[in-house]
Structure 1
Amino acid sequence: MHRSVFFILVLSVVFGTAIVFSSHHWFSVWVGLELNTLSIIPILCGSFFPRSVESSVKYFLVQSVSAAIILNVVVIQAWLYSSWSVSQPLSFVASLLVTFAVGLKLGLFPCHYWFPDVIQGVGFIQGLVLSTWQKFAPFVVLVNVVDVLNIQVLVCLGALSVLVGGWGGLNQTQVRKVLAYSSIAHMGWICCTVGYSLSGGCVMLLVYVVINSGVFLLAGEYELKSLSHMGRLSYFSSSGAVCLALGVLSLGGLPPLFGFSIKFISLSCLVSNGSFLLAGLLVLGSLLSLFFYLRVAFNSVLVLFPQHSLVAFGWRNAGTCVSVGSTLRGLLVSFSVSLSLFGLCCLPVLFSFL
């Protein structure tokens, strides 16, 4: 893909998200979502491998169905109430359909089935974009309509997403699928919190984006496609292995790492609103997720993966293992890792936004 074409597509993705951010009219929200989707598709299949093309088609179909549901619901709302305002109250059926459409875009249960396959079929950078930036536009739609949605349905979908994300990642050996199920679980935490505190959900999303970006960039830098590749990471980059372990454990929410703030903020909001059963379900799902986070950390730093000696020392001729210190990617990784280590110092600042 030519550099100027790539630059135009990236600008279109950003512009589509900005339209969703700044719009209070349903038609312009739909236009922003469609512009965002149509611009990201060529970026996903830019390498034009069969697997990436398949993932791009899956992503396009899922996003098209979601946008079509939103457009049909708002057209019916405009026909009944003569209003295209996002803040217009929704009927029970319309509320369920909008929740389903937004959940389909975010990858919530039961609409999560497409997300791990799409992440597995694209590169690490494209997977990072799908797990972070592409969540912003549907999340803004969810924030705008959360006051007129059925909160019980949204909270149930979020809790089931946490459980499914933890359970689905247990049997995975591919790094991108592990991170995909991790994203499903984290979006469940965020959606459960949004039902009770909008500012808390926004803070959790920003913290997750920072930590997840560091993990994706490190895995992409060293081409860690499976857990066996992680077992060889400590041979040629002990600092990279330690940084990856810290990032993964931060995603798991272990104190005193920065990811613990996500769990702490969410549980604080839920307990203060009396949702003790929901808080218990989220903690249970988090324990399931913590199992495969610890497995990734053990494979990258603490134990050596079973492998042949010739494979273990094949890093001597590997050209993909470069330093990450002097590039933009290295700066982003350093920022993410430093936040994972010292991020809890920012916890009082985060609580000031609640």
Structure 2
Amino acid sequence: MHRSVFFVLVFSVVLGTGIVFSSHHWFTVWVGLELNTLSIVPILCGSFSPRNVESSVKYFLIQSVSAAVILNVVVIQAWLYSSWSISQPLGGYTSLLMTFAIGLKLGLFPCHYWFPDVIQGVGFLQGLALSTWQKLAPFVVLANVVDSLEVSVLACLGMLSVLVGGWGGLNQTQVRKVLAFSSIAHMGWICSTVGYSLSGGCVMLLVYVIINSGVFLLAGEYDLKSLSHVGRLSYFNYGGAVCLALGVLSLGGLPPLFGFSIKFVSLSCLVASGSFLLAGVLVLGSLLSLFFYLRVAFNSMLVLFPQHSMVIFGWRSLSSNPKGVTTLRGFTLSLSVGLSLFGLCCFPVLFSFL
């Protein structure tokens, strides 16, 4: 793909998300979502390999179905209330349809099946965009209509997403699939909280984007496709192995690390609203996720993953950039890793938004 075409597509993706952020009319929200989807699809299949094209087609079909459901909800709202305003409360039937459409875009249970396959079929940078940036526009739509949705339904979907995300990642050996199921579990935490505290859900999403960006960029920098590759990382770059282990443990919510703020904010909001059962189930679901987080951390630093002695690891291509040259990717990697490891120092600032 030519560089100018790539920059135009990236600008269109950012523009589509910006339209959703600034819109108060349902039609412009739908236009922003469609512009975002149509612009990200050529980026996903940039290498034109069969696996990339398959994942791009899956992503396009899922996003098209969800956008069509949103458009149907908008038409029903305009027919019943003669209003295209996004602030118009949804009815009982339309609120369920909107919950289904947003859950399909965010990868919530039972609409999560497409997300691990799509993440596995694209590169690390594309997977980073799908698991972070592409979640922003649907989350803004969810934040605008959350007062009209059934909080119990949204909380149940989030709770089941945490359980499915933890259970599905237990026997995975591919790093991208592990991160995909981790994303499903984290979106379950966020959506379970946003019905009770919108500001708490926004803080949790911000923290998740920072931590997940660091882990994805580290895995993409060292081309860690499977846990066997992770197990060989400490042999040639011990600093990268330490940062990866701490980043993964931060995703798991280890208290000294920045990821602990996600669990703390969610549990504080749920306990304050009296949802003790939901908080307990979320904690039990996070224990499942903690198992494969610890497995990735152990493989990166402490133990060697079971593998054949003839496994070839492409470490020679890691030093292609000249030493001392600062790139945008390197700066973003350093910033996201630094914040994910030491960002708990700014936790009082984040908690002040609640």
Normalised by the size of structure 2, how large is the TM-score?
0.97
1:296-317 alpha-carbon deviations (Å, 9 max, x no partner): 00001111123344547x567x
Cα distance, 1:341 vs structure 2: 2.5
Instruction: Give the structure 1 partner of residue 211 of structure 2.
Output: 211
Q: In the alignment, does 2:146 pair up with 1:146?
A: yes
Q: In the alignment, does 2:114 pair up with 1:94?
A: no
Q: For residues 1-354 of structure 1, what are the structure 2 equivalents within 5 Å?
A: 1-311=1-311, 318-320=316-318, 326-354=326-354
| Identical pairs, percent | 83
The one-letter amino acid of 1:131's match is: S
1:262-312 alpha-carbon deviations (Å, 9 max, x no partner): 000000000001000000011011100000000000001111123344547
- Count the aligned residue pairs: 352
d(CA) in 1 for partners of 2:228 and 2:67?
39
Of the structure 1 ranges 81-90 and 267-276, higher mean CA displacement relative to structure 2 is found in: 81-90
| SS in structure 2 at match of 1:215 | helix
Contact 2:193 2:200 in 1 (8 A): yes
Contact 1:214 1:337 in 2 (8 A): yes
Contact 2:253 2:260 in 1 (8 A): yes
| SS in structure 2 at match of 1:11 | helix
d(CA) in 1 for partners of 2:30 and 2:9?
18
For structure 1, list consecutive stretches of 5 or more residues without a partner in the other structure: none
1:148-184 alpha-carbon deviations (Å, 9 max, x no partner): 1111111110010000000000010000000000000
d(CA) in 1 for partners of 2:238 and 2:277?
42
Of the structure 1 ranges 337-346 and 115-124, higher mean CA displacement relative to structure 2 is found in: 337-346
Contact 1:172 1:178 in 2 (8 A): yes
Cα distance, 1:34 vs structure 2: 0.3
Contact 1:109 1:160 in 2 (8 A): yes
Contact 1:70 1:101 in 2 (8 A): yes
Contact 1:73 1:94 in 2 (8 A): yes
Across the aligned residues of Structure 1 and Structure 2, the Cα RMSD in angstroms comes to 1.4
1:167-211 alpha-carbon deviations (Å, 9 max, x no partner): 000010000000000000000000111001111100110100000
The one-letter amino acid of 2:9's match is: L
Contact 1:222 1:321 in 2 (8 A): no
The one-letter amino acid of 2:261's match is: S
Contact 1:166 1:285 in 2 (8 A): yes
Contact 1:236 1:315 in 2 (8 A): no
d(CA) in 2 for partners of 1:151 and 1:260?
24
| SS in structure 2 at match of 1:319 | helix
Cα distance, 1:125 vs structure 2: 0.2
d(CA) in 2 for partners of 1:128 and 1:294?
21
Contact 2:214 2:340 in 1 (8 A): no
Cα distance, 1:36 vs structure 2: 0.3
| SS in structure 1 at match of 2:317 | coil
Contact 2:25 2:85 in 1 (8 A): yes
Of the structure 1 ranges 332-341 and 174-183, higher mean CA displacement relative to structure 2 is found in: 332-341
Normalised by the size of structure 1, how large is the TM-score?
0.97
d(CA) in 2 for partners of 1:192 and 1:117?
24
| SS in structure 2 at match of 1:320 | helix
| SS in structure 2 at match of 1:255 | coil
Cα distance, 1:322 vs structure 2: 5.7
The one-letter amino acid of 2:188's match is: G
| SS in structure 2 at match of 1:257 | coil
d(CA) in 2 for partners of 1:160 and 1:178?
17
d(CA) in 1 for partners of 2:308 and 2:31?
53
